[in-house]
């Protein structure tokens, strides 16, 4: 009996230690996933915040109505600010997504799948929105160039990275590189007849 106890005690200790290790591992995995999901929530929240909604409305009104920018008054400056604000939001999204990918060696875990599904529509929409708005800004004042090179490249990297995240051919097509050929672009904005700019809006109290 004593011999049996001497053998059983170490075995029992090993089992208890293994069980504790398993529990610790599960707790760590859940905590890690919770932290990653919180990062996902924050990245997505940037695209649906009140300030983002205002900028999206500013750019979307021009894009989907196919309306030109009035070079007089305040509109061009407001559009320029909204344009760069959205580029910077996508830059932060791309940076955060790269960190999430690096943590899991490039695999798409639950957190990344959730993030990609949440941001897909936003990214797909801006594949066309950014170049269209840039063209409108350029046309409204050719003496004031739009210097957005690095930010546009970052957005393109984000777009290209997302393409590999989906199997759906339609989603892949919507995330394809933008083309100036309106017959090949997937955006419906090209079906809308061009509209003239709205009357100039001037700061309150400014002389006409």
pLDDT (tens digit, 9 = 90+) per residue, 75-94? 999 999 999 999 999 999 99
Q: pLDDT tens for residues 45-78?
A: 999 999 999 999 999 999 999 999 999 889 999 9
pTM attached to this predicted model:
0.81
Dist CA 33 CA 68 (whole Å): 46
> Which residue reads 């890690």 in tokens?
32
Helix then strand then coil, % of the chain, to nearest 5: 70, 0, 30
Please report the pLDDT score of residue 24 as a whole number: 52
Residues above pLDDT 90, as percent of the chain:
64
Q: How far is CA 191 from the centre of its chain?
A: 26
Q: Output the pLDDT for position 14.
A: 55
CB-based contact 137:76 (threshold 8 Å): yes
Yes or no: say if 69 and 201 are a contact pair by the CB < 8 Å rule: no
Q: What is the DSSP letter of 66?
A: T
Sign of CA dihedral 188, 195, 133, 178: positive
């Amino acid at each position: 009996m004593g011999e049996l106890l001497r053998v059983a005690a170490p075995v029992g200790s090993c089992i208890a230690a293994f069980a504790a290790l398993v529990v610790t591992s599960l707790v760590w995995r859940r905590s890690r996933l919770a932290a990653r999901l919180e990062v996902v929530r924050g990245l997505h929240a940037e695209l649906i915040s009140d300030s983002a909604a205002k900028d999206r409305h500013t750019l979307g009104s021009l894009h989907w109505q196919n309306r030109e920018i009035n070079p007089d008054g305040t509109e061009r400056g407001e559009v320029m600010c909204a344009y760069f604000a959205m580029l910077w939001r996508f830059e932060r999204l791309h940076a955060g997504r790269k960190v999430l990918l690096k943590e899991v060696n490039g695999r798409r875990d639950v957190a990344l799948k959730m993030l990609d599904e949440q941001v897909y529509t936003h990214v797909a929409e801006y594949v066309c929105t950014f170049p269209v708005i840039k063209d409108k800004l350029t046309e409204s004042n050719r003496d004031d160039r739009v210097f957005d090179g690095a930010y546009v490249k970052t957005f393109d990297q984000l777009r290209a990275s997302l393409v590999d995240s989906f199997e759906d051919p339609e989603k892949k097509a919507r995330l394809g590189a933008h083309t100036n050929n309106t017959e090949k672009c997937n955006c419906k904005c090209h079906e809308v007849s061009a509209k003239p700019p709205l009357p100039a809006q001037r700061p309150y109290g400014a002389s006409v």
